[in-house]
Every structure is written in structure tokens, then in C-alpha cells.
Amino acid sequence: MNRREFLAVSAASLIATSAGKLNAEAVDKAAPWYQTMLRCGQINFNERDPLTMKPEEWMDYWASLRIDAVLLNGGGIMAFYPTQVPYHHRSEFLGSRDLFGEMTKAARAKKMRVVARMDCNYAYEEAFKAHPEWFQHNADGTPRRHNECPWLYKTCMFSTYFTEQMPAIYREINQHYMPDGFYTNGWPGTEALEVCHCENCQKIYREQTGGTPPETTDVHNPVYRRYYDIYMDRIATVWQLWQKTAQEHNADSVYVGNLGGGMRTVKDVKRLGEVAAWFNADNQGRTGNTPVWMCAQQGHVARSVMNGRTVTNVVGSYSNSSIDWRHTSKPPAEMTMWAAQAAASGMVPWLHRLGGQVQDNRWREPGRAFFDWLATNQSHFRNRASLAEIAVLYPQKTVAFYGSNGTATRKLNGETIDSAEYLEGMYAALLEGRFLFDFVHEDNLSAETLKKYKALLIPNAAFMSDAQCTAIREYTSSGGCILATFETSKYDEWGNSRPDLALKDLFGAGVSGERIGPLDNSYMNIDREHPILASFKDTTILPGAEFRVPLSPVPAEQRYLSVIPHYPAFPPEMVFPRTPHTEEAAAIFREQGSSRIVYFPGDTDRSFWKSGSPDLSRLIIDSIHWMLRDQPQPIIVEGDGLIQLFGWQTEPGFALHLLNYTNPNATRPFFSKTYPVGPLQVEFQAPAGSHIASAQALRAGHKLQIRTSGDRLHVELPKVADYEVIAFS
């Protein structure tokens, strides 16, 4: 076993068998407490809180939500108990109080677990003066400080602050309070790596990386690549040390780091998932033009590496948006939809409030109502397995490295590309098509993981290793179907260009030249009939992708869509095709053995995301139906609305989750009200051998009449406001 494999095997107690599927017996016998937890709450103390915080009042509130565990500030930047650890700064207002101890006692009196919330990222000047080696430095030798609070110094994870000081603090807290776990705010995160110039780091650069890594993500730099591996190794080492330290007094205790990032991760979430017994996504809300479904996307990403182990998602009760207001409440409809997505996508919602003295209480009752409802129906949220038959490959390296400049964005011929836009487009098309799907991380493509899926969708996984290509080839030879787009397999995992697409044998064509684009006003000509194209009536052309790789010729009888190259879009006198027809295929639809394969050499998924063109999403949706041989989906919902579906095998039976995203604010904050949909006709194909006697709408709180036709069950939902769960038992 190499080091990485060893870390993987020894990670926590691996009670899962394959992706998303729990070994129920193992869970029941050996599950640590956090594996069965379904509700979390957090009150984040500020320095002044010891003056006024009322432990019983707060715990009355959290108990009314029936939460399993509450996160309470222990220490790190600031101790909220009378610490004796040198340079561990006590709150200036702590006085004779032991706020962490009082809050812990009050929580336990209400039968809630306590996780000590820590912060390992900053410390005060007294620590800096005594231990400058604990802290990050800039290239000019100055220490790094917090931009808003410059009296705080940024710690370096390669220093003994992480391997000695933080463990000393954990041990002290363990000794006095024995919490059920530790959580670190803000570390390690999933964003781009930090490059520090402290003496420790300089030594690493001299001895291990062979030079100073670039400040920004640059996968073409060999120093960066070595630094990436060293960095991920260090995170794993620290994570495991802290897990071990947490368990010194209590074998049932746990360390949980701070992850998240939604679909945009630079750090390798597969490797983080190998050391994490519990994955926390600090994904509290949305900003800018982020779609509302970002929380469910986070669930998909996290589950793709956690094999059924606990994933939590922090639900911010405050107004985080493009402008942050940390002390006013976000609209209840938005907060509830975020929590609902966490629950629907198989995560545990964790409600978060900042500051003990609350002036805006508008979050309290909506939070209580949702969590209390979750508790009442909790058995239906104990998931055994996902019912999805479609997998979406999570293209980790492409998301992290296809771009540059440390932000996962890149310039392609002047166009700024976010490397997750391909995945965004695929995701949005899957929503429109109301498909059930899981994500599978690109490093989890084993036959065991993939065997439950009929199709694997590959949204421009441009960076792929030979091993990943082999796994996909094996999947198709066992009958699995694939749909891939654009530069999939054009580069190796570090972005070195291959002479041709590694998967050209599956696609049935390779590239004949350099990538083309960005170009608008190009088209696809419908050359011949195909079931995928059957819904396009009254047109012989479809919108072309903004970018494409030109394909080598395919026989005319295999060409269903061909490229009509760009011609001027303005002025109108000039708008006519200069080359009305070419022999360049714009899509490949083919069968190989019992596998069906669709390949779009254009960035069809991203072009859909950017343009919103319903023709492009229809092309993706109908391609999936063709690959699945038009077999009905396990869950079919009929009726208007933008609805995301999740389906789970649960302890009592099955749960079908419907999230109603129909809202003018679906792609910008906030949901301020809901726009109910219904009636909806829901059809469910229960797995063979299951016995279903009843159906309930858990949000509406009433029974549903089941109608059976063949082996499919039908129920009608008269109305869905924000979220509904149909529980079949």
C-alpha cells in the first residue's frame, strides 16, 4: 500500500460499501453518533457575548428544533473558557465566566451533543511575538494579517501551530468538557492553495518542491504540481492528527474540518473525503447570479466522495448575498429552501446564527418550524441508497485546473470561461428533464461504483488520466452508456495535451485541428433523422455551440448533425451562410455492443448554460432518453414547474423529494415568497420485491391515495409550495 491508499483505508470507520449505499447492518451495529445525526445548530459567539449570553434561553431554542448536536465556540482565535494554554487569547469580556462550559452544560441538560467550534486560522500579536514561526509571511517578509481585523495574524498550516498548539488546546478542552467533537471554522476549505513564505515553507520549497510555487493556480508549472501533492498530504496529516487528538478522551469523538465550495473545488475533495469521517460544507447561501439549486449541487459533490458517511451543510440564517449583512435575517423562504435542499440531497442541515444578542429574530420561527418538521419525520430521512440510475462524472481536475490564475477561470480567445460552466449546463439540463442523478467523482470510477448506473454523463472532463479513460472504456464494454462533451479526454490529468482525444475509440471520431471559438451565429444542420432529433419540428437547423473541436470525418450515414460554420451576425445584409453545408459532424450518436454513446464536440452544456437555449437542453435531454432506450425513469412527475427530484431508499421504504424552484428569483437571491405548483402527477417504480402499503405527503401532512398500474405506483399531489416529500412505506 502506498501512503495515499493507507490513508484511505484507515480513514475513520468505513461503514459504506459503494457510492451512496450504506451497509445497513454495519450502520446499526457500529455507527458513531454523528453517522445517525440529522439536525445541527450553531450559535457563533462574539467577543462580547460573555457579558450577556443566557445559556438556558439559547438551549431552549435549539431544543425546540430537536437538534442532535449544537456547535459552540471553544477557542482558537479566542477562548470562551478559562484556558491555561499559553498564547490562547481569552475573550476580553470573559471575566469569571466559563461561557463554553456553561453552554455545554445547558446543552447536555437538554440532551444535545456538543461540538466545540474552533478557529485555527488566526491568533493575536502576543502569539506572533512569541512564535513568529507559527504565522504566514509574505514574500517581502512581512506577516500576513486579517484584512478587516489587522490585529489578527494568519497562521501557517505547515507550522507547529497546527501540530502542537491546536492539539494542546483540544486536549485542554477534552480534559475539562469532553465534547462530542471538534470543528474548525475556515480550514482546510476547498479553494485554491495558499502560498506562504515563512521559514518553514521556504524550507519545503527548497527541499521538496524544487522552487517557490506560483502564487496562483498553475498546473503547467511542475513546482506547483509537487506543491499541490505536498499540500494535500499536509492537510491529511493534520486532519488525522486532530481526529486522533479528539479521540484521546472519547473514542466516539470526531474532528470535522470545513469544506464546501459547491461544484467549484481546487483542493481534491476525493482526498479530503478519504480522511474525513464527517464532511461539513460551509455553503451557507448564494451570491450574485448563483442559482438557488447550488445547495443541492453541494450535496451531490460531497456525497460523491463520502460513500454514505455524514455530510452536513451550514444554512446561514443571516443575509449573505453579494452584500453581506451578518445580523439581519435572510427571507424565510430562502432559508427554508436552502435547508430543504440540504435534507433532500442527503445532507444534514446545520442552522447557523451569529452573535448571542439577537436584534432580528425573523429567522427563529421558520428555523424552528422546518427542523421540528424534520424531527417529526426523521425516519424518512434515514437514507439507505439513492434511486438514481444516471451518474454525472465530477471532473475534479478539470474544475480545478482547466482554468488558471487561481480562480478556475480562464481566457479562451478572449472569452472568460469558468471551468465549472460545463457542469452547470449539464446540471441545469438534468433539472429541466427532471432526471434523478448522482455525481460520481472521477477518481471513483470503479466497476463496483458504476454498476448501478445505466448512463454516465461527462461534462467536458478535459483533464483525464489514462486510468480514468480505461475505467470509462470498461464501463461501456459492460453495457454502460456515456454522453460526453467538448474536450473530454483531450488532456492528461495535469493538462498535458494529447495528440487526440483519448476516448476517440468510444466517440468514433478524433479531432482534426485546433479548438474553434468563441463564435456565435454558427449552427448545426439536421442531416438525417434520428430519435434524438425527433422533437425538432419545422426547422432544419439548430443553434451551434460557442466553442467546438473540429472532428475528423465520419461516414455520411453516421452524420446526423453537421456544422454550419459561423457567418456574420451583423449587419442584416450580411447574415447568410457562406458555407451552408459541411461534412464536419456536430454530434456523434452511436451504438457499440449494448452501449449507446453520445458525443458533442461542441461545448453544448456550457453554451446552454450561457445562452439558456432550450434547443440545446432538449438535445441533451433527448440524448439521455435515447441512451436509456426510452425506459421510464424511476420517478416521473407531470405538471408545470421547475422541480428538482431526489429519490432514496430509506429505513421505512422510499422517499421521493420534490424541490420547487419555480420562482422569479431562481437565479438571483433571494426567494422572498414561494410560487406553488400543482396538481402534480407522480409515478414511481419501486425496486422489484418491495412492498408498499401507504404513501404520505410529509410537508402537507396527509395520506396520499395510491393507484397502481402494472408495477408502477401513481399518486397526485394537489399542491407543492416549496418542498414536498412523498414517503412510501
Binding footprint of Zn ion on the chain (CB under 5 A): 156, 158, 196, 198, 201
Query: Please, which residue, 132 or 641, has the CB nearer to Zn ion?
Result: 132
**In the complex, minimum distance from the CB of residue 443 to Zn ion, in angstroms, rounded to a whole number:** 28
End-to-end distance of the chain based on CA atoms, in angstroms? 44
Which is nearer to Zn ion, 193 or 635 (by Cβ)? Answer: 193
Give the contacts of 582 (CB within 8 A, at least 6 positions apart).
Answer: 562, 563, 564, 565
- Hey, what's the cell of 637? 412527475
Decide whether 202 or 672 has the Cβ nearer to Zn ion: 202
CB atoms within 10 A of CB 82: 16
- Do 218 and 144 form a contact (C-beta atoms < 8 A)? no
Q: Which residues contact 345 (CB under 8 A, 6 or more apart)?
A: 295, 296, 298, 299, 300, 303, 646
Cβ distance 92 to 49 under 8 Å?
no
For residue 237, the minimal CB distance to Zn ion (Å) is 15
The amino acid at residue 623 is S
For residue 21, the minimal CB distance to Zn ion (Å) is 41
Q: Which helix (H) or strand (E) holds 470?
A: helix 466-477
Comparison of 196 and 440: residue with beta carbon closer to Zn ion: 196
Report in angstroms how near the CB of residue 138 gets to Zn ion at its nearest.
Answer: 11
- Least distance to Zn ion, CB of residue 225, Å: 19
Contact 722, 337 (CB under 8 A): yes
Nearer to Zn ion, 201 or 232 (CB): 201
Phi, psi of 651, rounded to the nearest 5 degrees = -60, -50
Q: Tell me whether residue 201 or residue 276 sits nearer to Zn ion (CB atom).
A: 201
Give 91 or 121: the residue with its C-beta nearer to Zn ion.
121
Residue 246 CB, nearest distance to Zn ion (Å)? 24
User: Closer CB to Zn ion, residue 94 or residue 156?
Assistant: 156
The set of cell numbers assigned to 278 is 464527517
Nearer to Zn ion, 58 or 158 (CB): 158
Eight-class DSSP state of 183: E
Select 198 or 704, whichever has its Cβ closest to Zn ion: 198
d(CA 707, CA 424): 36
Rounded distance between C-alpha atoms, residue 713 and residue 254, angstroms: 42
Measured distance CA(386)–CA(364) in Å, rounded: 32
Instruction: Let me know: does 489 contact 501? Beta carbons within 8 Å.
Output: yes
| Least distance in angstroms from the C-beta of 186 to Zn ion | 16
What is the nearest approach in angstroms of Zn ion to the Cβ of residue 513? 45
- Whichever of 163 and 552 has its CB closer to Zn ion, that residue is 163
For 358-378, letters b (16+ CB in 10 Å) and e give beeeebbebbbebbebbeebe
Taking the C-alpha atoms of residue 522 and residue 543, their distance in angstroms, rounded to an integer, is 7
* Rg, the chain, Cα only: 26
Strands (DSSP E) along 282-388, which ranges? 310-316, 318-319, 325-329, 348-354, 383-386
Residue 201 beta carbon to Zn ion: minimum distance, rounded to whole angstroms: 3
Residue 202 or 416: the one with the smaller Cβ distance to Zn ion is 202
Running DSSP on this structure, what letter comes out for residue 323? Answer: S
Query: Minimum distance from CB of 158 to Zn ion (Å)?
Result: 5
Q: Which is nearer to Zn ion, 213 or 508 (CB)?
A: 213
Q: Please say which residue, 72 or 198, places its beta carbon nearer to Zn ion.
A: 198
Closest to Zn ion by CB, 47 or 191: 191
Least distance in angstroms from the C-beta of 136 to Zn ion: 5
- Spatial separation of the C-alpha atoms in residues 268 and 273, rounded to whole Å: 9
157 versus 704: smaller Cβ distance to Zn ion: 157
Instruction: For residue 145, give Cα distances in angstroms to 47, 135, 137, 161, 295.
Output: 19, 9, 9, 16, 31
Alpha helices in 584-707 (DSSP H): 604-611, 614-627
Give, in order, the Cα–Cα distances in Å from 110 to each of 59, 113, 173, 349: 7, 9, 21, 20
- Nearest distance, CB of residue 54 and Zn ion, angstroms: 41
CA distance readout (Å), 573 to 522, 568, 578: 17, 9, 13
Asked if residue 145 lies in contact with residue 123, where contact means CB atoms within 8 angstroms, the answer is no
The answer to whether the beta carbons of residues 357 and 314 sit under 8 Å apart is no
Measured from the CB atom, the residue of 201 and 305 that comes closer to Zn ion is: 201
Q: What is the dihedral of CA 611, 616, 617, 621, to 10 degrees?
A: -170
Nearest to residue 725, comparing CAs of 694, 685, 704, 697? 697
Q: How far is the CB of 153 from Zn ion (least distance, A)?
A: 12
Report in angstroms how near the CB of residue 41 gets to Zn ion at its nearest: 35
Taking the complex as a whole, the smallest distance from the CB of residue 141 to Zn ion amounts, in Å, to 12
Report the nearest approach of Zn ion to the CB of residue 166 (Å).
Answer: 15
Instruction: Tell me how far apart the alpha carbons of residues 248 and 668 are, in angstroms, rounded to a whole number.
Output: 46
The distance of closest approach from Cβ of residue 418 to Zn ion in the complex, given in angstroms and rounded to an integer, is: 29
Contact 377/51 with Cβ under 8 angstroms?
no
